[in-house]
Structure 1
């Protein structure tokens, strides 16, 4: 069974607390909740939540999570000046 076949047979089901990559927005966030068909995500360093479709989500790699956290920290430091 290929990785792609396995993914179709066993789709990823995000749960609150998971750090995921949203392919639709190219953002990384933490799963906060599920509302109907959508999953609510929040940036790793806090901020405004956004909704995502579960099929667009995959577990974030450690480097994805670190890059997102650094980018958000940098953006916050620029806003604080």
Structure 2
């Protein structure tokens, strides 16, 4: 996975993660989200445990650590077991 902090006007396709990649939005208290795509100068992220997608500037996104990925995946499984996700 290659996630680089690049100003929006300098983004290249190689700088954008693959859809589904787990990343951390540092502008939202290190919230972990699944990368969904590019929306103009912003990146669209979706919370792992369900909820509303949000957009953020690429410069505030970093790759999720293994521990952050594990926490996010556990949160998703727990939400699914409670019937909160399909």
Report the TM-score range of the alignment, normalised by the length of the smaller protein.
0.5 to 0.7
In the TM superposition, residue 50 of structure 1 has moved relative to its aligned partner by 0.8
In the TM superposition, residue 72 of structure 1 has moved relative to its aligned partner by 5.0
In the TM superposition, residue 36 of structure 1 has moved relative to its aligned partner by 0.6
Match of 2:16 in 1: 14
Q: Which has the larger radius of gyration?
A: 1
Out of 16, 23, 27, the position equivalent to 2:26 is 23
Whether 1:61 aligns to 2:65 is yes
Structure 1: where are the runs of 5+ without partners?
1-9
Decide which moves more: 19-28 or 66-75. 66-75
Whether 1:52 aligns to 2:50 is no
Q: Over aligned residues, Cα RMSD in angstroms?
A: 2.6
Q: Distance in 1 between matches of 2:20 and 2:73?
A: 15
Structure 2: where are the runs of 5+ without partners?
7-14
1:45 and 1:71, CA in 2 relative to 1: closer, same or farther beyond 3 A? Answer: closer
Q: Residues 2-60 of structure 1: CA distance to partner in whole angstroms, max 9, x if unpaired?
A: xxxxxxxx646332222101101120011101101110000123331111110000110
In the TM superposition, residue 68 of structure 1 has moved relative to its aligned partner by 2.5
